[in-house]
Structure 1
Amino acid sequence: MHDGLKIAAVVVAAGRGERAGGSDGLPKQYRPIAGTPLLARTLSALSSAGMIDRIVPVIGPGQQADYDRMGISDPRIAAPVAGGPTRQVSVLAGLRALADFAPDIVLIHDGARPFISPEVISAVIAAIGDADGALPVTIVTDTIKRSLDGKTVGGTEDRTQLFAAQTPQGFRYRTILAAHERAIEFGDGFTDDAAIAEWAGLSVALANGDPNNIKVTLPEDFSRAERILAGDNRMETRVGIGYDVHAFGPGDAVILGNIAIPHTARLKGHSDADVVLHALADALYGALADGDIGKHFPPSEMEWKDADSAIFLEHAAGRVRAAGGRIVHLDVTLICERPRIGPHVEAMRARIAEIAGIAGHRVAVKATTSERLGFTGREEGIACQTAATIELPRGAD
């Protein structure tokens, strides 16, 4: 028991996971990750957390032999029950199987999420509090676009109000069972159990999720899962250097780090001449060995005339994520006599972090003068040097 509560879990693993590919004919939940079936890893992670008294796996028709071959022997893991053609039907089967056990709290978890941690489980249970349920979430860092036809942009969502939902999603058992019993009459239009709770008018709280709590869905997710298991030894560190300079022209403000700073001049350039974001983008491209800003955004193209340089840094950061990597640190050094940079450092750090989709403590901004030497000393322009540290999946040498 956890603080006097009887806690159970339903593990949904009744599908075939056809998007995961594979030529062996096995449903994805029985395919190995580093030698152990995916579902076995998920069940082990839940049982070893030490907070769950009963676990009910829900498997698909014809999967009993696959399940038996895993050799599950933990007494807290009940015999699997048969699911149905949809997730909603399968979850309801698992909930009904818990009727005699009558838990206070039930956690509903995807069988394809093998990296669930005790911290997330505990956070979900604690978040229920006075609510009817809770789910773990992570913040959305990418800019999210809306499209009605799948071809053109119809709008941009406010990502400050968006969260990526994970499992396990926890609920008061009798409350979510009743909601599922009602919802089954309406088909399977619900993508998760929190959606059913919302439809039923239940209150659902948010808890902190974990970026490593991935759902293995696509073929490349198996490789990513093995990298998570292997830890940092499967990642390599790359460092890129960036440099940019722009001359002053007539104006009353400069754009640095996407922040407008009042000044007696502006910086001249094809875009908004933000030396900070230009140099940071180049540093990231350099760490990726992926060309430079001119390759991706040629200054000869009028599309980028007066463009907001946030576009360039967003693109470079997106290339890191697309390669399966992450940004570890961004370091900026501005070289100029004026304007004074110090009063604007924190605003620049926060804005750079937001654009790059990283935490603010991973961004450093500094400034220095050139002691009145050279073009910066003569106040003819501003220079910027940057360094970007990233981690990428280790490739073949």
Structure 2
Amino acid sequence: MGKTVALVVAAGRGRRFGGDLPKQYHDLAGRMVLRHTLAAFATNPEVDMVRAVIHPDDRQLYDIAAAGLPVLEPVPGGASRQDSVRLGLESLAGLDVSKVLIHDGARPFIDAGTIGRVVAALDSHAAALPVVPVADTLKRGKDGFVADTVDRDQLFRAQTPQGFRFAEILAAHAAVLGEELTDDAAVAERAGLKVTLVAGSEDNVKLTTAADLERARRLFEGPGEVRSASGYDVHCFEDGSGCWLCGVLVPHDRKLKGHSDADVALHALTDAILGAIAAGDIGHHFPPSDAKWKGAESWRFLAHAASLVTAKGGRIVNVDVTIICERPKVGPHRAAMAARVAEILGISQDRVSVKATTTEGLGFTGRKEGIAAQAMASVWLPR
């Protein structure tokens, strides 16, 4: 299977928005609109890569919006949105892409559920369009008067990301070069591709006018919410000396076996933080099948998870780690462990708890065959 890529189209000037600053670079709850959009895809486990298509004059603004996010280099757009999408698609050739999600940069409220439904639909369909049913009564007007009432049954409002099998949408865009169609689903339709409908979200609005931005700001002005999740990991012992636990090398007559440095406590904590923001698990971000992570320091995994929280505009509230083993003794190193975790996460030490327990001689930890760890993490995220 090839990769799933999100192509975020952000090359427009937003003339209906007013002012000199393109709408995707306006402030929304302390971050640029485009950063909210990029972060939604960059932190989603269904998406392997993210690339933005931007106006050549906006590179400095883009670099501020994308700072610290795991995204590909942006590419310049064209004279129209359709040109920009085509150029973005062409830039993905050679990257082993099988699915592409094309999304408007000015839709910062895209949720993981909509992304997941679009990606899943591409397993059995060439194209997928997120939609919401039309709820209002529709009228057709003529000369300032109502001409008739339009039947709204089977009418929908189209949203993004619109998902496609990469090779097919690339060919479809090449075939309509010079034409102007309303969206990428229309390009697919012109090429004879059947576009399946999936549920969108009423919150997934596009910011078109200054009034839209003000409404969006009011949504973000709420108190936010705290989300919590747990993590668990196990590693067995092997010949060696010393175990990495919570980023501290603890003296022991054996070491833990793993593709990385096998820090079982940091692995559990990384999974807890990723779970709190619904960003998959440690294996998705750092697959053990990838040779570049062989012997890697596990603090890098935890720091990555923390950066994804920041990317969403959130913060880590507190973390709690329990190390389960007979040996080595954790007590003498507990303070150093808590200090190291706090340092990696960039939070105060009073927000970090490190504990240890045994299984009273029961199970594999009781037989001193390895170490287990469980962790909890709570993060605050804007609504």
- TM tier, smaller: 0.5 to 0.7
Instruction: Note the C-alpha offset of 1:230.
Output: 3.1
| 1:212 partner SS | coil
User: Which of 21, 25, 37 is the equivalent residue of 1:26?
Assistant: 21
Instruction: Note the C-alpha offset of 1:156.
Output: 2.1
For the pair 1:160 / 2:156, whether they are aligned, the reply is no
Other-structure match for 2:4: 7
Instruction: Give 5+ residue unaligned stretches, structure 2.
Output: 225-383
Instruction: Note the C-alpha offset of 1:173.
Output: 0.2
- Name the amino acid aligned to 2:35: A
Other-structure match for 1:181: 174
Give the Cα–Cα distance (whole angstroms) in 1 for the partners of residues 4 and 24 of structure 2.
24
User: Which of 84, 91, 110 is the equivalent residue of 1:97?
Assistant: 91
For the pair 1:140 / 2:134, whether they are aligned, the reply is yes
Instruction: Note the C-alpha offset of 1:118.
Output: 0.9
Compared with structure 1, are the counterparts of its residues 157 and 175 closer, same or farther at alpha carbon in structure 2 (3 Å cutoff)?
same
RMSD of aligned C-alpha atoms? 1.7
- Name the amino acid aligned to 1:7: T
Give the Cα–Cα distance (whole angstroms) in 1 for the partners of residues 87 and 142 of structure 2.
35
Give the Cα–Cα distance (whole angstroms) in 2 for the partners of residues 129 and 158 of structure 1.
33
Give the Cα–Cα distance (whole angstroms) in 2 for the partners of residues 127 and 67 of structure 1.
31
Q: Deviations over 1:174-204 (max 9, x none)?
A: 000000001113x21x111001111111010
8 Å CA contact retained: 2:37, 2:109: yes
For the pair 1:172 / 2:165, whether they are aligned, the reply is yes
Instruction: Note the C-alpha offset of 1:152.
Output: 3.0
Compared with structure 1, are the counterparts of its residues 147 and 81 closer, same or farther at alpha carbon in structure 2 (3 Å cutoff)?
same
Instruction: Note the C-alpha offset of 1:155.
Output: 2.7
After the TM superposition, which of the residue ranges 139-148 and 114-123 deviates more from structure 2? 139-148
Q: Deviations over 1:123-164 (max 9, x none)?
A: 111223432100111111101122355x33333221111000
Q: Deviations over 1:245-266 (max 9, x none)?
A: xxxxxxxxxxxxxxxxxxxxxx
Give the Cα–Cα distance (whole angstroms) in 1 for the partners of residues 142 and 95 of structure 2.
46
8 Å CA contact retained: 1:176, 1:197: yes
Q: Deviations over 1:53-110 (max 9, x none)?
A: 11110001311122123352333x1111110111100000110010011311000000
Identity of aligned residues (%): 48
8 Å CA contact retained: 2:99, 2:165: yes
Residues 257-268 of structure 1 mapped to structure 2, 5 A cutoff: none
Give the Cα–Cα distance (whole angstroms) in 2 for the partners of residues 58 and 6 of structure 1.
18
Q: Deviations over 1:273-296 (max 9, x none)?
A: xxxxxxxxxxxxxxxxxxxxxxxx
User: Which of 58, 62, 67 is the equivalent residue of 2:62?
Assistant: 67
Structure 1 length-normalised TM: 0.54
Higher relative CO (Cα under 8 Å, sequence separation at least 6) belongs to: 2
Compared with structure 1, are the counterparts of its residues 157 and 48 closer, same or farther at alpha carbon in structure 2 (3 Å cutoff)?
same
Structure 2 length-normalised TM: 0.56
Give the Cα–Cα distance (whole angstroms) in 1 for the partners of residues 66 and 80 of structure 2.
26
Compared with structure 1, are the counterparts of its residues 160 and 91 closer, same or farther at alpha carbon in structure 2 (3 Å cutoff)?
same
Give the Cα–Cα distance (whole angstroms) in 1 for the partners of residues 46 and 136 of structure 2.
34
| 2:101 partner SS | strand
Give the Cα–Cα distance (whole angstroms) in 1 for the partners of residues 52 and 66 of structure 2.
14
8 Å CA contact retained: 2:185, 2:195: yes
8 Å CA contact retained: 2:2, 2:96: no
- Equivalenced residue count is 224
Other-structure match for 2:80: 86
Give the Cα–Cα distance (whole angstroms) in 2 for the partners of residues 94 and 71 of structure 1.
17
8 Å CA contact retained: 1:212, 1:228: no
Give the Cα–Cα distance (whole angstroms) in 1 for the partners of residues 122 and 205 of structure 2.
22
Compared with structure 1, are the counterparts of its residues 161 and 65 closer, same or farther at alpha carbon in structure 2 (3 Å cutoff)?
same
| 2:56 partner SS | coil
Other-structure match for 1:239: none
8 Å CA contact retained: 2:129, 2:198: yes
Other-structure match for 1:205: 196
Structure with larger Rg: 1
Instruction: Note the C-alpha offset of 1:33.
Output: 0.6
After the TM superposition, which of the residue ranges 205-214 and 155-164 deviates more from structure 2? 155-164
Other-structure match for 2:260: none
- Name the amino acid aligned to 1:199: R
Give the Cα–Cα distance (whole angstroms) in 2 for the partners of residues 135 and 71 of structure 1.
26
- Name the amino acid aligned to 1:118: A
Instruction: Give 5+ residue unaligned stretches, structure 1.
Output: 234-397
Compared with structure 1, are the counterparts of its residues 61 and 148 closer, same or farther at alpha carbon in structure 2 (3 Å cutoff)?
farther
Q: Which runs of 4+ in 1 moved over 4 A?
A: none
